[in-house]
A and B are shown apart, each in its own frame.
Chain A
Amino acid sequence: MTRFEELQQAIIDGKAPVAKELTDKMLKEGIRPGEFFPKAIIPAMDEVGRRMRECEFFIPEVLIAARAARASSDILRPLLVGADAMASAGTVVCGTVKGDLHDIGKNIVAMMLESAGFKIIDLGVDVTAEKIVDAVRTNQAGLVALSALLTTTMVNMKSVVEALSAAGLRDKVKIMVGGAPVTDAWAHSIGADGYGKDAPAAVELARQLATA
């Protein structure tokens, strides 16, 4: 097994201390920081996404795998400068809409997007449309990812789309939505750019929207 495969395995198995130790060791062995994402972290989280989609992995496993990925990437990010600077996949402002406190699904999507090379501005839960507009403007984000778990709060996704339009930012950002009561049809009806059925689908969608 190569070092990269070892690190992939540690992330998939959710072993954060092992991932951290391996990352340190690999850096000492002279592996360039820029190689870790394409050769270990991104493929590992893609595999986690695949297993999640096939019901093999569930929320706890996905969360601990994402934590292990973060243990590695936290060491790497400060080193990704100069020749190792990684082209960011894009900046995503994400949050659970106003009136809704559901955190877990949004966190999983945020962590998987982060592992896929996106810069994440996570605004948390119960987020107002104004806050999202501000964050998009300040960070010049190209993507907005919204979550809602209640049929009564998903209407607030529409308010966000409207607020971004009113602020003159609508043609500068792509908006993606997700959450248990959300459907493709709903995404279309509120004028969002796409719907992610689950976290792996959200990553796939973000990649498409970022390059579109």
Chain B
Amino acid sequence: MRLRYGAGVRPDAIGVNEKAERATGRSLTPDTWHLTPKISMPEKPTHRVILRPVQTELTAPAGTALRDLLFAQGVEFPCGGHGRCRGCRVHVLEGHVPINDAQRERLSAEELAEGWRLACQCTLEDDLVIELRQWDAAILVDDTPFVFQPRAGLGVAVDLGTTTLVTQLLDLTTGRVLAVRTALNSQARFGADVMSRVQFGVPKDGEKQLRDLIRQQIGSLIEQLIFAAQIPEGKITDVVVVGNTVMHHLFCGLDVEPLSRYPFESENLGLQSFRGQDLGWKLTRDAHVRFLPCLGGFVGSDILAGILATNLGERNDLNGLVDLGTNGEIVIGNRQRLLCASTAAGPAFEGARISMGMRAATGAISEVIVEDHTVNCRVLGNVPPQGLCGSGLVDAVAAGLELGTIQSSGRFADSIGAWTLAAPVVLTQSDIRELQLAKGAIAAGIRMLLDRFGASAGDLKKLYLAGAFGNYINRASAQRIGLISFPLEKVEAAGNTALLGAKLALFRPDEEDGSYASLRQRTEHVALNADQSFQETFVEEMVFP
């Protein structure tokens, strides 16, 4: 029998699950990464570190890397802790932290004098008071009602993202979500984007380290789900994991070397199955753990799950799905044929490499509105503004274009170096350039897939925006900056479609034999970079409409 997806469908033979536990806005502290400072040498002095504004107090031996100490507190290291970016900068309010060459290269003399440091370059040599620029952020879970066919047992759906992890425990008989747990991917301190993760994973010991880290972390999240739902251990029968190709390979212990260079094609894209006992997780002995197959290139099962969640591959009309992130993924298609691609949009949408960028957390400007020719900013958490998150950045540039402060070339009209949105938060010329790169890559990708399909923008019935950023972005602003060039009524925020798709797969273990061979056969991966016209389209799409 064919089951139709849709919140309103409630045939008797099937059930509709209840609203899931709402967990957006939870602290991002990676609660499964336990810091275990080695206290093997008792004579070694320890130092105290106080973190502001969270007021956490930590103690660790002298010489401990600040990277290890702060990663456990949710600080991210975009370049993997190589001192190549400014993403992990912290403000040292009290105590001495030595400066090295890498920091002199990345931070100005004024910043260094004010106490700014790159956490990845420092070790603990003194008692410290540190102000963190990043502390918590919302992770998008999924509470979309869905149609399912009841089966016996308990299942766990895992959305294994490059940055964040979301897990939900479900009663497969009732479709109820019993518990939700989210965390930062513990591999993230070895690099924020997939390429730095691949770089770390190319040597065999690096690959094993990343594999063990993520398997342990998911195992620990499953234990937390069991605890939160107050169910006995060893009752979970099914786990479905989805993620991009790099996450797939690193979890499954597959060689990531083919993903490190052109043509970026791995031969191991298929479904990977494990038994509960293989992974040491608290499941039934023969529990079935599946990492769903990838679609091609870097486009993984998170997008396959997105296709399942939006039913893109079963419809007669043409629809699209875009996941806006560091690696932007795009799918367009219908029941006959689907095209997918990934494009390195860079981290601008996540607030990285933006001068005052931050995640969508307390203190972030998340909305910018133009009223009577002036800008009004909304700040998350009703506190004084501290930075700008992705949705605020898109809004700010849209507002600048509207007011004439920013020209369509992306340049400030009056050669101002920075535009004050709400003191002390400013938008700089290079911030606009970063956004132009990100939006240019996505817009060019959409255009090229439509071209390849032989369709025009007008043929597209709906464009679904997946993921956290797609959920929070103001669609009118996205349209104003040319990120999407479709009428607003065609653009829909679809939420965490990766998690929803993983949940649907839990209830349909036998759908397409679990390998989705037919769907994968209908889906063609387009390597945008290898297409000569991509670079030109990309440059054209960098300007604002």
| Residue positions of A touching B, CB distance < 8 A | 55-61, 63, 98-104, 107, 126, 150-153, 181, 183-185
Contact = CB atoms under 8 A, between A and B. Distances in A.
A41 B260 CA distance: 40
Given A150-B195, A151-B199, A152-B195, A58 B436 contact: yes
Given A63-B539, A101-B529, A183 B260 contact: no
Most buried by B among A57, A151, A185: A151
Decide if the interface of chain B is mainly helix, strand, loop or mixed.
helix
Contacts of B538: 104
Contact of B539 (A59, A98, A184, A185): A59
Given A99-B260, A100-B262, A152 B202 contact: yes
B52 to A, nearest CB: 32
Nearest to A101: B529
Interface in B177-206: 195-196, 198-199, 202
9 contacts: A58-B433, A58-B436, A60-B539, A60-B540, A100-B262, A104-B539, A150-B260, A151-B195, A151-B196
B57 to A, nearest CB: 36
Contacts of A151: 195-196, 199
A152 B530 contact: no
Given A101-B529, A103-B535, A61 B409 contact: yes
A63 B536 CA distance: 10
Interface string B150-181: 00000000000000000000000000000000
B261 A100 contact: yes
A179 to B, nearest CB: 12
B411 interface: yes
Interface in B14-41: none
Contact of B429 (A55, A63, A99, A126): A55
B410 interface: yes
Contact of B409 (A60, A152, A181): A60
Contacts of B382: none
Contacts of A150: 195, 260
A153 B260 contact: yes
B430 A99 contact: no
Identify the 9 closest CB pairs spanning chains A and B, nearest first. A99-B261, A152-B260, A55-B429, A101-B529, A151-B199, A103-B535, A152-B199, A99-B262, A126-B262
Contacts of B436: 58
Contacts of B411: 56-58
Interface in B354-411: 409-411
Contact of A152 (B261, B429, B430): B261
Contacts of A63: 539
A153 B196 CA distance: 11
A60 B543 contact: yes
Interface in B67-107: 84, 101, 105
B260 A181 contact: no
Nearest to A182: B84
B415 A56 contact: yes
A112 to B, nearest CB: 16
Nearest to B102: A185
B542 interface: yes
Interface in B414-448: 415, 428-430, 433, 436
Given A98-B261, A101-B530, A183-B105, A60 B195 contact: no
B530 A58 contact: no
A167 B189 CA distance: 40
A104 B276 CA distance: 48
A147 to B, nearest CB: 13
A152 B198 contact: yes
Contacts of B430: 55
A166 B514 CA distance: 52
B535 A104 contact: yes
Contact of A58 (B199, B262, B409, B540): B409
Contacts of A58: 409-411, 433, 436, 542
A58 B433 CA distance: 7
Most buried by A among B84, B261, B430, B530: B261
B218 to A, nearest CB: 26
Contact of A183 (B84, B198, B262, B415): B84
Contacts of A98: 261-262
Given A58-B433, A101-B529, A181-B84, A153 B410 contact: no
Contacts of A102: 529
A153 B262 CA distance: 9
Interface string B525-542: 000011000010011101
Contacts of B195: 150-152
Contacts of B530: 101
A58 B195 CA distance: 25
Nearest to B409: A61
Given A57-B411, A98-B262, A101-B530, 17 more contacts: A56-B415, A58-B542, A60-B409, A60-B542, A99-B260, A101-B262, A101-B529, A104-B535, A126-B262, A150-B195, A151-B199, A152-B198, A152-B199, A153-B260, A153-B261, A183-B84, A185-B101
Contacts of B105: 183-184
B108 to A, nearest CB: 15
B454 to A, nearest CB: 25
A148 B512 CA distance: 41
Nearest to A183: B84
Contacts of B535: 103-104, 107
Interface in B253-291: 260-262
A159 to B, nearest CB: 12
Most buried by A among B199, B202, B530: B199
Nearest to A56: B411
Contacts of A103: 535
Given A104-B535, A151-B195, A151-B196, A59 B542 contact: yes
Contacts of B262: 98-101, 126
Contacts of A60: 409, 539-540, 542-543
B245 to A, nearest CB: 14
A176 to B, nearest CB: 19
Interface in B493-545: 529-530, 535, 538-540, 542-543
Contacts of A101: 262, 529-530
Nearest to A149: B344
Nearest to A103: B535
B409 A55 contact: no
A210 B409 CA distance: 35
Nearest to B529: A101
Nearest to B428: A55
Contacts of A59: 539, 542
A152 B429 CA distance: 29
